[in-house]
Amino acid sequence: MTLEAAKDAADVALGTFLVNGLPANIFFDSGENYSIILHKFGGRLALPVDKLENALVVKVASGKFLLVSDCIKNIVIDLNGDKFHEELLPIELNGFDIVLGLDWISANDAEILCKKKMLAFVIDAKKEKKEIQRIPMVCDYLEVFPEDLPGFPMIEKWSFE
């Protein structure tokens, strides 16, 4: 799928985000098993290309199968302030700088909401709750931040003369 076709399609999620400080067209594709990066865009990141331990066979949107034996590590994808450190497979793509596939989507508990053209993340509600003593600035002023608030302040009438 080309970038122009994807912008008009109702069942895909895509956007422009920063990748190692450079703007990139990213396509979120649950139909792609692996996350890939346009070979040319990967070169712009000035990161070393490493060899995979075992080569992978990747099926691209055109239906072709490509043998991929390289990867680029230390890629930082900034999705509106949330940073993801990734390792992507460099191949020739048609229209996108990066395709984040099922491997990335499942590893990050993400869901593609096609009708809204959004990417949603599952938030772990069981994460450790920070205690007041652990917050660096608050712990210096515990008397100002009581454990329980006593309630709403009393309503007072004011008269201005």
Per-residue pLDDT tens digits for 13-60: 788 899 999 999 998 888 788 899 998 999 999 999 999 999 988 887
Instruction: Return the DSSP state at 102.
Output: H
**In 3D, which of 38, 128, 127 has the Cα closest to residue 89?**
38
Domains, the chain, ranges and CATH?
Answer: 3-121 (2.40.70.10)
The amino acid present at 129, given as its one-letter code, is K
Q: Is 87 exposed, middle or buried (0-12, 13-18, 19+ CB in 10 A)?
A: middle
Q: What integer pLDDT is reported at residue 79 of this predicted model?
A: 87
Segments of 20-94 assigned E as strands: 22-28, 36-38, 49-59, 65-79, 82-91
pLDDT higher than threshold 70 for residue 158: no
Q: Is 61 exposed, middle or buried (0-12, 13-18, 19+ CB in 10 A)?
A: middle
For the stretch 56-76, pLDDT in tens is 888 876 778 889 999 999 999
Q: What integer pLDDT is reported at residue 119 of this predicted model?
A: 73
For the stretch 112-136, pLDDT in tens is 776 666 777 665 555 555 455 555 5
Tokens of 60: 């691209």
The amino acid present at 57, given as its one-letter code, is V
Q: What integer pLDDT is reported at residue 102 of this predicted model?
A: 87
Residue 21 Ramachandran class (φ > 0 left, ψ -120 to 50 alpha, else beta): left
